[in-house]
């Protein structure tokens, strides 16, 4: 079983803060737990070159391969500075920057074609949940975002209910058990994949990580705000190993 904890920095940290975080967190070294930091683009090269024990991911990649697209950061650029993979389809990209399943699918395939890893985020909004549409939404996101995708070794899925992100209130653990069972069933049924690496994200803290560990068979978590203080992230790591 693979165990993974991902810190998603979002649009936070100066270079100085980034180095301090890596100094502290890279002291943790346990081959049984993979630590990933999804960092802002400008820090990828320096962090990937200077620290061991933590895999450096981006938080996005362009859906174009290059050319006259002012401001875009492409897969070739990211590979040339040593990134390992990217978060794709985070709810903040979907809802604030209007990324559709089609655009997310393009990005997933670009990463796959470049042998780079993908952390694909899926999750329902509160309205969708209250209308009883959670399972339909998850199913559609999975099949639409993974159309044409075949190399499941490169894929990690992060189930992040939108209403649980940044609210301080994670999902109820029994609802997570139910969602996990459903998502694993879709991967078996649609792609014949038995062992998809599956993370939970949404207000994970040092207490909720114990529930994930003890009451689910999830592979780990994708963590925002509780991971930004490196000492706090280390507590989460220690409660998960
Ligand atoms: P929080 O942990 O701050 O709720 O953020 C979750 C998230 O969006 C991780 O990608």
Whether residue 2 has pLDDT greater than 90? yes
Mean pLDDT across 237-241: 96
Mean pLDDT across 179-206: 98
Question: Which protein residues are within 6 Å of ligand 1, measured from CB?
Answer: 8, 90, 160, 165-166, 201-204, 222-226
In angstroms, what is the span from residue 17 Cα to ligand 1's centroid? 19
Res. 215 pLDDT band, cuts 50 70 90: very high
Q: Please state the atom number of ligand 1 nearest to the C-alpha of residue 223.
A: 2
Model pLDDT for residues 111-129, shown as the tens digit of each residue: 999 999 999 999 999 999 9
Q: Please state the atom number of ligand 1 nearest to the C-alpha of residue 167.
A: 4
Residue 57 backbone phi and psi in degrees, to 5: -115, 160
Q: Is 23 a catalytic residue?
A: no
Which residues span the domain enclosing 47? Answer: 4-240
CATH of the domain at 167: 3.20.20.70
Res. 39 pLDDT band, cuts 50 70 90: very high
Q: Is 131 a catalytic residue?
A: no
The DSSP-derived string for 85-127 is EEEES-HHHHHHS---HHHHHHHHHHHHHTT-EEEEEE---HH
Query: What is the reported pLDDT for 43?
Result: 98
Query: What is the reported pLDDT for 29?
Result: 87
Query: Looking at 92, 117, 124, 160, which residue is catalytic?
Result: 160
Query: Looking at 63, 90, 112, 117, which residue is catalytic?
Result: 90
Model pLDDT for residues 62-101, shown as the tens digit of each residue: 999 999 999 999 999 999 999 999 999 999 999 999 999 9
Model pLDDT for residues 5-17, shown as the tens digit of each residue: 999 999 999 999 9
In angstroms, what is the span from residue 222 Cα to ligand 1's centroid? 7
Cα 61-67-73 angle, rounded to 5 deg: 20
Portion of the chain with pLDDT greater than 70, in percent: 100
Query: What is the reported pLDDT for 226?
Result: 98
Q: Are 110 and 122 in contact (CB under 8 A)?
A: no
Model pLDDT for residues 163-179, shown as the tens digit of each residue: 999 999 999 999 999 99
4, 7, 9, 10, best to mutate for ligand 1 pocket (most atoms within 8 Å of CB): 10
Residues 6+ apart with CB under 8 A from 55: 34, 35, 36, 37, 84, 85
Residue nearest to atom 7 of ligand 1 (CA): 224
In angstroms, what is the span from residue 210 Cα to ligand 1's centroid? 17
Q: Please state the atom number of ligand 1 nearest to the C-alpha of residue 227.
A: 2
The residue with tokens 């069972």 is 181
Q: Are 81 and 48 in contact (CB under 8 A)?
A: yes
Average pLDDT in the chain? 97
- How many Å apart are CA 14 and CA 4, to the nearest integer? 25
Count how many domains the chain has: 1
Residues 6+ apart with CB under 8 A from 229: none
């Amino acid at each position: 079983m693979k165990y993974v904890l991902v810190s998603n920095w979002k649009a936070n940290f100066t270079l100085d803060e980034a180095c301090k975080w890596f100094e502290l967190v890279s002291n943790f070294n346990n081959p049984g737990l993979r630590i990933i930091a999804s960092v802002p683009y400008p820090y990828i090269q320096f962090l990937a070159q200077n620290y061991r024990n933590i895999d450096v991911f981006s938080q996005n990649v362009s859906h174009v391969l290059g050319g006259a697209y002012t401001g875009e950061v492409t897969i070739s650029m990211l590979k040339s500075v040593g990134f390992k993979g990217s978060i794709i389809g985070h709810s903040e990209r979907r809802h604030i920057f209007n990324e559709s399943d089609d655009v997310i699918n393009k990005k997933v395939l670009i990463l796959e074609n470049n042998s780079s890893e993908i952390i694909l985020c899926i999750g329902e909004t509160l309205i969708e949940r209250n209308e009883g549409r959670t399972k339909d939404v998850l199913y559609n996101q999975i099949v639409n975002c993974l159309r044409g995708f075949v190399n499941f070794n490169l894929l990690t899925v992060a189930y992040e209910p939108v209403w649980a992100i940044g609210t301080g209130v994670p999902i109820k653990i029994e609802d997570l058990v139910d969602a996990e069972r459903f998502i694993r069933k879709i991967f078996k049924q649609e792609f014949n994949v038995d062992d998809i690496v599956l993370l939970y994200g949404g207000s994970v803290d040092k207490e909720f990580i114990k529930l994930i560990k003890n009451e689910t068979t999830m592979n780990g978590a994708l963590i925002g705000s509780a991971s930004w203080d490196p000492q706090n992230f280390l507590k989460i790591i220690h409660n998960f190993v």
